[in-house]
Chains A and B, each alone.
Chain A
Amino acid sequence: MKHIRFLSMGILFGIILSKGEIISWFRIQEMFRFQSFHMFGVIGSAVVFGIITIQFIKRKKLRDSAGTLITVSTQDPGYARNLIGGTIFGLGWAITGACPGPLFILMGHQGWFFVLAIAGAILGTFSYGLIEKKLPH
């Protein structure tokens, strides 16, 4: 039952991204054409508040609900994978109009057929797992 909190956070996150139009294909197109401030404002303000939040957590040595010191993972996976993988992801983001979170939200928002995009993403992840060792990281 302790997982109910994650369900509520998910519901809230789904509403925030829907109402902020972050899951609209049109907003993503607008972003990749630099024709509106909207998406840059969303991501930019989330990051600015995020930097303040993380600095606060680190300086005040905040603990989580279980009493463990909050740490933000800092493994450096290597720049090549970030750039190449990021580029492949960007190609997909611009046609589905959705990154992973929005793909799920769109299923609730627009209908079951977005499950096809999720299936595609699972297949993509599976394919990466198969050839992972042959790729530059």
Chain B
Amino acid sequence: MDKLIEFIQQPWPWWVSGPLITFTMFSLLYFGKSFGVSTNFKTACNLLGAGKVSNFFKFDWRDQLWNLIFIGGTIIGGFIAAHYLTPSQAVAISPATIADLKAIGIASPGSSYVPEEIFGSENRWSLRSMVFLLGGGFLVGFGTRYANGCTSGHAISGLSNLQKWSLVAVIGFFIGGLAMTHFFLPLLMKL
């Protein structure tokens, strides 16, 4: 039992988390649902009354109630993991990444779960923090709906179902991610 608790408290290796993600997808399929988190943003728009402005948001939100409950669960899961299952918040990223991030102004990469310089309490209402959270969130929300899915819908479910268009979407994820990481991020860190 002690061994198990010790294992759970360590960061989980990829070969544990990867197959468990597949298990989540399978469980949802077994209960008649498909794995797709970004749909919840569309449901939120519907609940906020966006159906009055565009037919795109006209649908019965009750069909997506299970998904809202699912993401409600993920918030609880994140809380449990952070407060009860993770004694150390450090993330053991590679020395190369640490060096790269130091060069763009992050003082101690990997010593916390997310960078203090962007999401830390001292920088909470800074321009940089707003751009990363609101602006980044905007791109995520706009892009996933345009692409018709996010990592769960395209990268996990879509590729598992051998859908060519999901592979195209994943290639897009990387084009955008690489452009942001290597061209725009160093500039945004100057904000």
Contacts and interface: CB of A to CB of B under 8 A. Distances in A.
A, B co-complexed: yes
Majority DSSP secondary structure for residues of B touching A: helix
A124 B91 CA distance: 30
Interface in B6-63: 8, 11-22, 24-34, 37-38, 40-42, 44-45, 48, 50, 53-54, 56-57
B105 interface: no
Contacts, number: 485
Q: How large is the interface on B (under 10, 10 to 19, 20 to 34, 35 or more residues)?
A: 35 or more
A79 B130 CA distance: 32
Contacts of A93: 140, 151, 173, 176-177, 180
Given A7-B70, A33-B181, A93-B177, A16 B163 contact: no
Nearest to A117: B137
Q: How large is the interface on A (under 10, 10 to 19, 20 to 34, 35 or more residues)?
A: 35 or more
A74 B153 CA distance: 11
B77 A85 contact: no
Interface in B76-121: 76-82, 85-86, 91, 93-94, 96-97, 100-101, 109-110, 113-115, 118-119
A11 B74 contact: yes
Contacts of A101: 37, 71, 74, 150-152
Given A89-B176, A99-B140, A17 B17 contact: yes
A107 to B, nearest CB: 5
15 contacts: A14-B77, A15-B85, A18-B85, A32-B177, A42-B14, A74-B163, A82-B147, A83-B168, A100-B140, A106-B114, A109-B79, A117-B133, A121-B41, A121-B138, A122-B44
Interface of B: 8, 11-22, 24-34, 37-38, 40-42, 44-45, 48, 50, 53-54, 56-57, 65-67, 69-82, 85-86, 91, 93-94, 96-97, 100-101, 109-110, 113-115, 118-119, 124, 130-148, 150-152, 154-157, 159-163, 165-166, 168-182, 184-185, 188
